Amino acid sequence: MKKLFISVLAFSCLLVSCTQKTQLDQMMAKASRTEKNGWIQIHLEGSPKVIGFQHGYLLADEIIDLRGAMEVRNKQMTGRDWEFYRNESYRILWHNIPPEYQEELKGIASGVNAKSGNGKIDIKDMVAINSFLEIPDYYVPWLEEQEKPTPPEHCSAFAATGSWTTDGKIVIAHNNWSEYLIGERWNIIMDIVPEKGNRIFMDALPGFIHSGDDFNINSAGIIATETTISAFKGFDTTQVAEFVRARKAIQYASSIDEWVSLMVDRNNGGYANAWLLGDNKTGEIARLELGLKNQFLERTSDGYFTGANFPVNEKLRKEETSFDEFAPDNSANIRRQRWEYLMKENKGKIDIQSAKSFMSDHFDLTRNKEKGGRFSLCGHLDEDSAGVDGVTWGSAYFAAGAVQAKATDSKLASKMQFWAIMGHPCGETFYAKKFMDAHPEYNVQKDFLRDMPGNEWSLFRKK
Q: How many domains would you assign to the chain?
A: 1
Distance (Å, whole) CA 84 – CA 144: 14
| Residue 111 domain-assigned (yes or no) | no
Q: Which of 53-62, 71-80, 213-222 has the lowest mean pLDDT?
A: 71-80
The average pLDDT across 291-311 equals 97
Residue 103 lies in a domain: no
Residue 131 within a domain:
no
Distance CA(368)–CA(259), nearest Å, equals 40
Q: Please give the pLDDT value at position 15.
A: 46
Residue 94 lies in a domain: no
pLDDT (tens digit per residue) in 305-338: 999 999 999 999 999 999 999 988 889 999 999 9
Q: What is the DSSP string of 65-121?
A: HHHHHHHHHHHHHHS--HHHHHHHHHHHHGGGS-HHHHHHHHHHHHHHHHHH-S---
Q: pLDDT value at position 119? A: 75
Say which residues have a Cβ less than 8 Å from residue 201's Cβ, sequence separation at least 6: 189, 190, 191, 192, 216, 217, 218, 416, 417, 418, 462
Residue 147's pLDDT is what? 75
Q: Please state, in angstroms and rounded to a whole number, the distance separating the CA atoms of residues 254 and 252.
A: 7
Q: Which of 135-139, 249-253, 264-268, 325-329 has the lowest mean pLDDT?
A: 325-329
Residue 146 confidence (pLDDT): 83
For residue 64, being part of any structural domain is answered with no
Q: Residue 286 in 3-state DSSP?
A: strand
15 Ramachandran zone, left/alpha/beta (phi>0; psi -120 to 50): alpha
The residue segments making up the domain with residue 257 are 37-45+148-461
- In-domain check, residue 254: yes
Q: Is the pLDDT of residue 113 over 70?
A: yes
What is the SS3 assignment for 42?
A: strand
Q: What is the pTM of this model?
A: 0.93
**Is position 67 within any domain?**
no
DSSP H helices, 94-190, are: 99-116, 123-130, 140-143, 180-183
In-domain check, residue 387: yes
| Coil, strand or helix at 284 | strand
Residue 297 pLDDT > 60: yes
pLDDT at residue 392 tops 60: no
pLDDT tens digits for 227-253?
999 999 999 999 999 999 999 999 999
What pLDDT, on the 0 to 100 scale, is given for residue 154? 83
Residue 157 β-bridge partners: 174, 307
The CATH number of the domain holding residue 236 is 3.60.60.20
Q: Of 30-34, 60-64, 440-444, which range is least confident?
A: 440-444
Binned at pLDDT 50, 70 and 90, residue 463 comes out as: confident
